[in-house]
Structure 1
Amino acid sequence: MKKVRLTLVATALMMAMASGSAVADQRVVDQISQFGVKYTVNDNHAALHGVDCAALGADWASCNRATITLTNPGEALTSKDWVIWLPNIRQTLRVDNDQFRMVHVVGDLTRLEPTEKFKGFAAGESVDIPIVNEYWQLFITDVMPRWYVTSENAQPKIIASTDTEDLTSFVSPMDNYWKRTADDRNVLMTPVSRFEKNSDTAQLAGEALRGQILPTPLHTTLHAEDADLSRGVQFELTGLNADSAEAVRDRFALLGLAENGQGYVIKSRLAPAAFTGNEAVSGAYRLSVRAQEAQVEGFDEAGIYYGMMSILSLLPASGEQKIATLDVTDAPRMAYRGIFLDIGRNFHSKEAVLRLLDQMAAVKLNKFHFHLSDDEGWRIEIPGLPELTDIGARRCHDLTEQRCLLPQLGSGPFADAQGNGYLTRDDYIAILRYAKARGIEVIPEIDMPAHARAAVISMEARYNRLMKEGKTKEANEYRLVDPTDTSNTTSVQFYDRTSYLNPCLDSSMRFVDKVISEIQAMHQAAGAPLTTWHFGGDEAKNIRLGVGYTDAASPEAGKGRVDLSKEDKPWAKSQVCQALVKSGKVADMDHLPSYFGKKVSERVNAHGIEKMQAWQDGLKDAKGAKDFATRRIGVNFWDTLFWGGFDTVNDWANKGYEVTVSNPDYLYMDFPYEVNPLERGYYWGTRFNDERKMFSFAPDNMPQNAETSVDRDGNFFDAKSDKPWPGVYGISAQLWSETVRTDEQMEWMIFPRALAVAERGWHRAAWEQTYQAGREYKGGETRHVDRAALHKDWQRYANLLGQRELPKMDKAGIHYRLPQPGARLVAGKLAANIALPGVAIDYSLDGGNSWQRYHDSARPSVSGEVLIRAVSSDGKRFSRVESLK
């Protein structure tokens, strides 16, 4: 009895001590969560200023210096039992304060923690932690929000000063550190430099835009009369299914044209026999607008729908509901006109996707490439595999990753945070139906064998659960890792070997087959058969084995020195993969991604899906399209032009692939709009992709672009190819979501840039030259391109966007990016302009207390500081406010 009492007493004491420890730990967490945080970039050219970046192992010996400043607003804190977790897309190579260390965990997740030399935070003290990072930090979104703090027995808390999407609240201005290299020739966009850039784009009178349609039709004959739609519209729709007809009605109603039995008559019919030659293609239509009625003839249902969208494109934004009478004969230039959306990195809602589909259909974009999985998240429900969404769709602070994935990309420690989530089976089916009604094919992508960490971790959790239940066979059914694989490898975004599913396992192929089966069943349920499967396939490599690194034992100058003896190719130590190579079925480890692509194509074909698509590098070791089992095989070509893409694109087309150009330096919408540190986005392929650059892209003659743009550092480049060019199959603009956490940010990055892609995919401009093997385009020297024609075309297009299309987006509730105004002072007066004429500009002479509308005909006098901003047509949204003195 005495022993029992002693045991109870000891247990109570231990519980009390644990409770006391937990309370103490929570106090530490609570206090640090109130710390001020300031992140300051100090030098993006550290190698030129005394830092041996090569010795630190930086890629191409490139590193930057920054400072983290922590300010303790409360009483002194001496505890060492704390960790600050921060998203850090740049690897920290050195910490120059011996009281702290930074430890990379996985992906961008990094620990900042005290060392044994930590002296504590005095009351009111600010402590600087200088660090050296790999590469550069040029845009504010290189720093991510929602740093959080933990202690052993406490609940995590986000540091309040970082819990924001307004990064300027804790990131110091980067205006002096915007150059990637010392001789960077890009132009920093300020009001003055922007004014100069915009100066060749004038506002056109409404009459000059009369009868203009976006995207531009093949043939238009304009008539003198106008058609009056002010009494609404009366539809006589034939040739459209009920869902498409409803979608047409909804779009007309959104833009203020309600149905009315006495309204303007709009008729439609299918008439495929009326189309011949190059015009007999899906989406072709003929439109006749007369004073009393309009008629649309379509080659197919898509053609009828597009004809209806062309009627709406004619509407001015002034509120006057009159359109020009005209005749149009039209057909698309390319079969594939696409938008790619990544909801793997950060989730975006079904509602945002539906709004995107509406806008795509309005400008005749017909392919929605839907990236549903990545390292950071799995975003679609798969019946029978609940862990994929229970764990893979959520990020939280669980170091075991048995409840969720570890936090990434500024999502913070809680599973209900922005960026988490998934589409249920019903959600996905609803998206498919919505897309089908608008003539859009949904192309699902499940990325593999790299970028697969969410799936790998989820299936490991499933394995552990079933093994505990004694179900060994079931546990191994869909396992994606070989437990013998101890390869040391680092993915492009700093994940370890858990980023790659193992392509040599039968269970991996069973997983692929299961996922294809379930997603195909969703398409069948939606009445939208799955005709294209996107395999992904990109970046299955170890970046430490890239050309910017060198072996420390025998180093090359100008490269980061690492111990290459410790670096492995993906799956190099997997016994299963070693056996596969030894068997002769695959040449070596480098060929595993393409080998896996071939195996997946067999499963895709077995499911009756006619086409498989991939990012081109995932198929690089195949001989050509005939190596794959599906009847058709497509690639998204994503080499940058200035690194040779103007030539290598021909190789893919000549091997029989359907090439959809997806070039980062022209078509990535996750890149910034302009060279200004306050813009959002990554920038490894170019420093900016604005509407004008994307509009000026020549997708079917890649070398031509050397005459009309510059490389990443603002330098001219030369381009030619001596190879035959079979022609482009399609064009696609991409939004990767690393820096895009909210639906509003998603729309801001996509629109209005996507409309330029619609124009280039639908219409071949007169200034686009036909590809000629051997013709050289030398940036800054040759003049093959008719620049006057390009400028005239841009001015027309820019006015259509500013005067017509953006106000229509306002009506649809789209959070598009308003262009930043240009401005300068001329003889004491404010002169302002904008890239998309028609967008209003406001100015303030009293520090923003009051705002006035700018009119170029009455330039205001300025003495002192003036603030400027752009304004949406409905007056509800504004661009960034900028200052001019």
Structure 2
Amino acid sequence: MIKKVFLFVVLSWFGLFWAHAQTKEIPVDNLGLVPLPLEVKAYEGKFTLPAKVVIAAKTADEQNVAGFLKDYFTVLGKVATVTADANLATIKLKISAVTDKNPEGYQLTVDQSGASITASAGPGLFYGAQTLMQLLPPKAQENVAIPYVRITDEPAFKWRGNMLDVARHFFPVAFVKKYIDNLATYKINTFHWHLTDDQGWRIEIKKYPKLTTISAFRNESLIGPQQLMKKPEDFKYDGQPHGGFYTQEEIKEVIDYAQKRYITIVPEIEMPGHSVSVLAAYPELACKPGPYQTRTLWGISEDIVCPSEQTFQFFEDVLTEVVQLFPGKYVHIGGDEAPKDRWRESNLVKDVMKKEKLKDVEKVQGWFNNRIEKFLLAKGKKLIGWDEILEGGISPKSTIMSWRGEKGGIEAARHGNEVVMSPASHLYLDHGQNPVPHSPVEPTMIGGYLPLEKVYSYNPLSSELTPAQHKFILGTQANLWTEYITIPEKVEYMLFPRILALSEVAWTPYAKKEYSNFLQRLGKQFPRLDAKKIMYRVPEPVGLDASKIVTQGDKAILTLSTLYPDAQIRYTLDGSVPNETSDVYTRPLAIPINRNIKVRTVTITPNGRHSVPAEVVIP
């Protein structure tokens, strides 16, 4: 009897201890979660995973998500199995109608009994699993423990997108899958696949085989930044044929891969502009006689398809095959940068304008788009296009992707059209990450300077719109054009870490965002990127902003820091680029004034990767 009483007292004491641990909150910043959940609480204590992890899953979605967790536990050196019996489980996955109706919302709890994730649908369960994986270490270690948390989360926006241009440079299926994995990790749910352009056509269309034998290849590519070329002799080419395409079977494979990660793929088939590759194979679709070749220059071409019945038949045939492949709701038709020079010269276009009573040639594109939209609607799809399609007039059912700032998106939302905000000023990730234009230490860029902080600062809900009009903003999207991004490593360099800033713009309510807090959490993501062999841009040391340097007497005091945990800062004072043999920064630097000393610094990560140099001249 005494033993039973003693055992009861001991068990009660442990119960009170755990309850106390659960109620004693601690700061959440050390969790390092990106994007920041809507509501997150952390508590003292951790749950240590057993050698064998059991995951409870019954439904198809639960089992799908369990597969990802099982794979991750294998990476951590744990044996994981799946069971239908929740009583036996370490990790419980549950889709329940009782939970939040948002299909992307979830609840995650970690306590002394293990971890549980509940959601109303598969996407939410998947995102809860992604959060759980961020609470785990990035690689195998002897003891794996999960901090006690209670998280209730859902996204701020339905459309959280990223676009990859594979038309300018082709990327293989294996890399496209890795790209999709990276989006899924940070809860980005839309992959915009830019499949066609002047410089290449990347999707097999069985009715038009010349699109893959001719349009998918160009003879060579321009060397260097085209925007700096002023004279004919400036234009030099590499002499290397470039191309490739995805078979329809490969497209299906990628779609299936994305669906398992709850990502919708939006295909883009450009029309009527950016279509020189089409004219290379089918010159009869042009207003002006050919011949044409798949374009080797970047930028905008005056040659676009002619709005003939033959052209409509071509695109309807193409789109018939496209919509049979892609199950998503939207088909992107581009519609941007379509000069009307050839149309103004065309008798066919003049006849169209007379027949359709169009007084402005720009309205011909609106007429063209409306015909394509009716075709897509008949196929159960919605048309989405860049904001130029507004200029020719759009129907109330069209969706606008606003890239030339927010003006087009604001106009469309005021008219009740769906909008995806994607301004180049904040979300074009082909823009440079170095304030020095065309810096030799970074990939060639197209646009201006787009640092991490500017991406993070973006708010998709314009103050020029009313709360009622905000409802038409589906969300936001970043775009990565690849004129100068030739290999997968450069794609990752331009994408990371800025894609993490995008993920928080798209997921976390603007009022909850704070850049300094984001940077603290971002630092914990770099070891995870290393574990996945992602070739991200290593952030340079912070503290060389000339406007913030403190002076003491005849010296300037430089206080430096790095976002990467356990990284070194190396520096030089003679203007040379620092390396592993340069001085290590250990305390603030006192630099004499009036000597024009150039201070240069780099971050060197524990695995030996270098940032680009950061520098300042102390006058």
Same fold (TM over 0.5): yes
Amino acid aligned to 1:869: V
Tell me: CA distance 1:831–1:577, structure 2 relative to 1, closer, same or farther (3 Å). Answer: same
Q: CA deviation at 1:266?
A: 1.1
Partner of 2:196: 373
Partner of 2:96: 271
Partner SS, residue 442 of structure 1: strand
- Cα displacement string for residues 435-489 of structure 1 (whole angstroms, at most 9, x for unaligned residues): 11100000000111011111121223xxxxxxxxxxxxxxxxxx42135799xxx
Distance 1:409 1:659 in 2: 38
Partner of 2:388: 617
- Cα displacement string for residues 354-391 of structure 1 (whole angstroms, at most 9, x for unaligned residues): 11111111111100011001111111122232221222
Q: Which segments of 5 or more consecutive residues in structure 1 lack a partner in the other structure?
A: 1-205, 399-407, 461-478, 524-528, 543-568, 626-631, 704-719, 768-789
Amino acid aligned to 2:522: L
Asked if residue 521 in structure 1 is aligned to residue 321 in structure 2, the reply is no
Q: Which segments of 5 or more consecutive residues in structure 2 lack a partner in the other structure?
A: 1-25, 83-87, 222-233
Distance 1:409 1:536 in 2: 28
- Cα displacement string for residues 139-170 of structure 1 (whole angstroms, at most 9, x for unaligned residues): xxxxxxxxxxxxxxxxxxxxxxxxxxxxxxxx
Tell me: CA distance 1:243–1:292, structure 2 relative to 1, closer, same or farther (3 Å). Answer: closer
Tell me, yes or no, if the aligned pair for 1:654 and 1:724 is still in contact at 8 Å: no
- Normalising by structure 1, report the TM-score: 0.57
Amino acid aligned to 1:799: Q
Partner of 2:130: 309
- Cα displacement string for residues 71-109 of structure 1 (whole angstroms, at most 9, x for unaligned residues): xxxxxxxxxxxxxxxxxxxxxxxxxxxxxxxxxxxxxxx
What is the aligned counterpart of 2:258 among 435, 451, 462?
435
Give % identity: 24
Distance 1:261 1:425 in 2: 35
Q: CA deviation at 1:434?
A: 1.1
Asked if residue 482 in structure 1 is aligned to residue 287 in structure 2, the reply is yes
What is the aligned counterpart of 1:539 among 337, 353, 363?
337
Q: How does 1:718-733 map to 2 (within 5 A)?
A: 725-727=469-471, 728-733=473-478
Tell me, yes or no, if the aligned pair for 1:309 and 1:362 is still in contact at 8 Å: yes
Partner SS, residue 353 of structure 2: helix
What is the aligned counterpart of 1:640 among 405, 409, 416?
405
Distance 2:264 2:235 in 1: 30
Q: CA deviation at 1:316?
A: 5.3
Partner SS, residue 251 of structure 2: helix
Distance 1:344 1:452 in 2: 11
Partner SS, residue 343 of structure 2: coil
Partner SS, residue 476 of structure 2: strand
Tell me: CA distance 1:662–1:386, structure 2 relative to 1, closer, same or farther (3 Å). Answer: same
- Cα displacement string for residues 722-774 of structure 1 (whole angstroms, at most 9, x for unaligned residues): 8973332111011111221111111111111111111121110326xxxxxxx
Partner of 1:44: none
- Cα displacement string for residues 830-867 of structure 1 (whole angstroms, at most 9, x for unaligned residues): 74323x35372342669767437945458799999876
Partner of 2:373: 601
Partner of 1:880: 612
Amino acid aligned to 1:737: T
Asked if residue 750 in structure 1 is aligned to residue 495 in structure 2, the reply is yes
Tell me: CA distance 1:576–1:760, structure 2 relative to 1, closer, same or farther (3 Å). Answer: same
Asked if residue 764 in structure 1 is aligned to residue 585 in structure 2, the reply is no
Q: CA deviation at 1:306?
A: 0.5
- Cα displacement string for residues 488-521 of structure 1 (whole angstroms, at most 9, x for unaligned residues): xx9x9665443x1112x11111211221122233
Q: For the aligned residues, what is the CA RMSD?
A: 3.5
Partner of 1:696: 457
Q: CA deviation at 1:340?
A: 0.9
Partner SS, residue 181 of structure 2: helix
Tell me: CA distance 1:850–1:223, structure 2 relative to 1, closer, same or farther (3 Å). Answer: closer
Distance 1:683 1:397 in 2: 19
Tell me: CA distance 1:872–1:850, structure 2 relative to 1, closer, same or farther (3 Å). Answer: closer
Amino acid aligned to 1:640: G
Tell me, yes or no, if the aligned pair for 1:823 and 1:884 is still in contact at 8 Å: no
Distance 1:395 1:220 in 2: 51
Q: How does 1:847-866 map to 2 (within 5 A)?
A: 850-851=580-581, 854=584, 856-857=586-587
Q: CA deviation at 1:621?
A: 2.7
Q: CA deviation at 1:273?
A: 2.8
Tell me, yes or no, if the aligned pair for 1:694 and 1:756 is still in contact at 8 Å: yes
Amino acid aligned to 1:726: H
Partner SS, residue 833 of structure 1: coil
Tell me, yes or no, if the aligned pair for 1:338 and 1:369 is still in contact at 8 Å: yes
Partner of 2:239: 413
Partner of 2:279: 456
Amino acid aligned to 1:236: A
Partner of 1:794: 515
Partner of 1:238: 58
Distance 2:329 2:569 in 1: 49
Distance 1:538 1:722 in 2: 27
Amino acid aligned to 1:352: F
Asked if residue 575 in structure 1 is aligned to residue 347 in structure 2, the reply is yes
Amino acid aligned to 1:600: I
Distance 1:435 1:865 in 2: 49
Asked if residue 332 in structure 1 is aligned to residue 92 in structure 2, the reply is no
Distance 1:337 1:752 in 2: 16
Tell me, yes or no, if the aligned pair for 1:395 and 1:411 is still in contact at 8 Å: no
Partner SS, residue 210 of structure 1: helix
- Cα displacement string for residues 613-655 of structure 1 (whole angstroms, at most 9, x for unaligned residues): 1112123332541xxxxxx5311111325xxx3xx53321122
Distance 1:823 1:587 in 2: 58
Distance 1:423 1:252 in 2: 33
Tell me, yes or no, if the aligned pair for 1:382 and 1:518 is still in contact at 8 Å: yes
Partner of 1:391: 214
Partner of 2:533: 813
Amino acid aligned to 2:520: N
Q: CA deviation at 1:232?
A: 6.3
Tell me, yes or no, if the aligned pair for 2:402 and 2:419 is still in contact at 8 Å: yes
Tell me, yes or no, if the aligned pair for 1:867 and 1:881 is still in contact at 8 Å: yes
Tell me, yes or no, if the aligned pair for 1:829 and 1:859 is still in contact at 8 Å: yes
Asked if residue 670 in structure 1 is aligned to residue 433 in structure 2, the reply is no
Tell me, yes or no, if the aligned pair for 1:828 and 1:861 is still in contact at 8 Å: yes
Tell me: CA distance 1:849–1:516, structure 2 relative to 1, closer, same or farther (3 Å). Answer: closer
Partner SS, residue 222 of structure 1: strand
Tell me: CA distance 1:756–1:295, structure 2 relative to 1, closer, same or farther (3 Å). Answer: same
Relative to structure 2, which stretch is displaced further, 259-268 or 435-444?
259-268
Tell me, yes or no, if the aligned pair for 2:39 and 2:153 is still in contact at 8 Å: yes
Partner of 1:8: none
Count how many residue pairs are aligned between Structure 1 and Structure 2: 551
Tell me: CA distance 1:852–1:236, structure 2 relative to 1, closer, same or farther (3 Å). Answer: farther
Tell me, yes or no, if the aligned pair for 1:485 and 1:573 is still in contact at 8 Å: no
What is the aligned counterpart of 2:71 among 250, 263, 274?
250
